[in-house]
Structure 1
Amino acid sequence: MILFNSVLPTNLSQDDVVCDTVLDVGANIGIFAAFAAEKVGKSGLVIAVEPVPPTWEVLNYNVDLLHRPGDGEIILINRGVGDGSKEAIDFTFYPAAAGWSTMYPDASEVSDAMRIFLDRSLPTLEGMDLSLVNKVGSLAARKAPKWLIDPLARLAVSQMLAQKKEYSCQLTTVSNIIKTQGLEVVDLLKVDVERAELDVLRSIADQDWPKIRQIVMEVHDLNGALSAVRELLDVKGNFAACVVEQDTQLEGSTLYNLYATQQGS
């Protein structure tokens, strides 16, 4: 059993989390999938799910590049995960910010979250992707007075959002993946799907909830989504240990990280 200490909330120890099978919903360009494959080892399995064609291509490239002998098997699935009500949906893809790609675009939330992040990060560039800063000029960003940071942030975000493209992508469900891959257990379900978190959880059939030992997910708390996620976990699973945290650089935004462990796991 491999410990997933690097994705633990701050109040859980390494002994609290073990993984052999990882389901990565919203795998993006595959960095986490490659990391997970290394952690689970040769006997483990990582299933990485990503719908958007340009991101899918990079995901394949990165998995080929980063996968090493001794790592767990990685299975790639070119699908989005919906609630089961649709077979396909249009995804909005942002070439300059692939991680924002979503089936539920919300330019206002993206702009507000990025403004908060940049407001806290531009003075030192701590935790920043310099390609983002380069959109407005890293030198100017470092020396920008506080009153200028907000316009700079909005300019950078608006430029990125303006480049959006749309792709029609096929959908699947968590339960369909569990069935088709013959999974008896999902040691870790990782979800990063930009406002589609509830869809992912609602795609889990009642009989499959006991198979999911741990969940780590980003939740966009719009229209009570965070409370709805926690309520769903209470109703559908026996997730006695549930922790919600917010990155200090995103305090005041709608973005939260949620960690949940099935009781008895």
Structure 2
Amino acid sequence: MGNGLRCVRLDDGFSCYVPENSSGSTDEIGFIHAEIFRDECYLRGGAVLPADAVVVDVGANVGLFSLFVKRRCPAARILALEPMPETFRALWANLAGVDGVRAVRQAVGAGAEDAVAFTYFPDLPGNSTRYPGTKKLARQHPTAGALLADAREVVLPVRRLSEVLTEAGLPERIDLLKIDVEGAEADVLAGIDDRDWPRVQQVVAEVQGHRGEAEAVLELLRGKGFSADAGATEDELDDLGTRLITARRPSCA
């Protein structure tokens, strides 16, 4: 395709675009595809998708969760947010022609900031993060550590999620807010105004548990009226201190 992208063919005839990298590794996208489509990882904690679901996908990566939602619920409306330029190009290519999905290149956090340094990992772009310290355990993994060696700084603006939601013009009700932003999950939640919290019916967040982030996110969500629990992720992620938090309003029970 050019433009720094290549097409990768995965299981069941599925293919998608990913950013070009020097290692040529497809391990990460294969793992993510299996997580989402085979294991339905983001629904494991009991989150449900109505037929006309409205989903906000924060940390959309190359768009696989958005594509999973559209396969499950063709009438769904999705706002997919991804800040990394190379990854966003792949996201845009993968979602081209998919009705009901709006892709926006944007980082979100607790407050508006003009220039924030992020770390982009070309060989493992799904691990790119504002907080590279969260990758300490991953760097000790024999395979992941080598792929994380190539790290580049990318400076990006950050906005609050409520501001982005206002501009997106989504329906009042948001059925699922999915967050997977490599250590900044609490920041994303802190960027939601009080007026927007009643709109959100369910939250699924993959959180770095070894820094106490999971406990902080659980406390925040419970304080907003959700029933929230932290479950295990895939074995490899669980070993890295990652937890999957699922929060639901009583009306979703």
TM-score by length of 2: 0.76
User: Unpaired runs of 5+ in structure 1?
Assistant: 116-152
State the 1:162 CA deviation: 2.3
Q: Does 1:247 pair with 2:224? A: no
Q: Does 1:31 pair with 2:31? A: no
Contact 1:244 1:256 in 2 (8 A): yes
Q: What's 1:105 paired with?
A: 132
SS at structure 1 position matched to 2:231: strand
Aligned partners of 1:111, 1:27: CA distance in 2, in Å? 23
The runs of at least 4 consecutive aligned structure 1 residues that moved more than 4 Å come to none
C-alpha distance after superposition, 1:104-131 (max 9, x if no partner): 112413224xx3xxxxxxxxxxxxxxxx
Contact 1:9 1:243 in 2 (8 A): no
Of the three residues 184, 197, 202, the one matched with 1:209 is: 197
How do residues 67-146 of structure 1 correspond to structure 2 at under 5 angstroms? 67-68=97-98, 72-106=99-133, 107-112=135-140, 115=141
How do residues 1-265 of structure 1 correspond to structure 2 at under 5 angstroms? 6=40, 7-9=42-44, 12=46, 16-18=48-50, 20-42=53-75, 44-64=76-96, 67-68=97-98, 72-106=99-133, 107-112=135-140, 115=141, 153=142, 156-183=143-170, 184-235=172-223, 237-265=224-252
Aligned partners of 1:167, 1:252: CA distance in 2, in Å? 28
Amino acid at match of 2:181: V
RMSD over aligned CA atoms reads 2.1
State the 1:61 CA deviation: 1.2
My pick for the range that moved more, 242-251 or 221-230, is: 242-251
Contact 1:22 1:188 in 2 (8 A): yes
Amino acid at match of 1:196: A
State the 1:243 CA deviation: 4.4
Amino acid at match of 1:9: R
- Number of residues paired by the alignment? 210
User: Unpaired runs of 5+ in structure 2?
Assistant: 1-38
Which one has the largest radius of gyration?
Answer: 1
Query: Cα distance 1:185–1:97, how it changes in 2: closer, same or farther (>3 A)?
Result: same
Query: Cα distance 1:17–1:219, how it changes in 2: closer, same or farther (>3 A)?
Result: same
State the 1:202 CA deviation: 0.4
> Identical aligned pairs, as a percentage?
32
TM-score by length of 1: 0.72
Q: What's 2:20 paired with?
A: none
Aligned partners of 1:79, 1:53: CA distance in 2, in Å? 9
State the 1:85 CA deviation: 4.3
Aligned partners of 1:190, 1:61: CA distance in 2, in Å? 21
Contact 2:232 2:238 in 1 (8 A): no
Contact 2:56 2:174 in 1 (8 A): yes
State the 1:211 CA deviation: 0.5
Amino acid at match of 1:55: T
C-alpha distance after superposition, 1:193-238 (max 9, x if no partner): 0000100010111111111111111000133111100000011x21
Amino acid at match of 2:197: W
Aligned partners of 1:239, 1:169: CA distance in 2, in Å? 32
Amino acid at match of 2:158: L
SS at structure 2 position matched to 1:157: helix
Higher share of residues assigned strand? 2
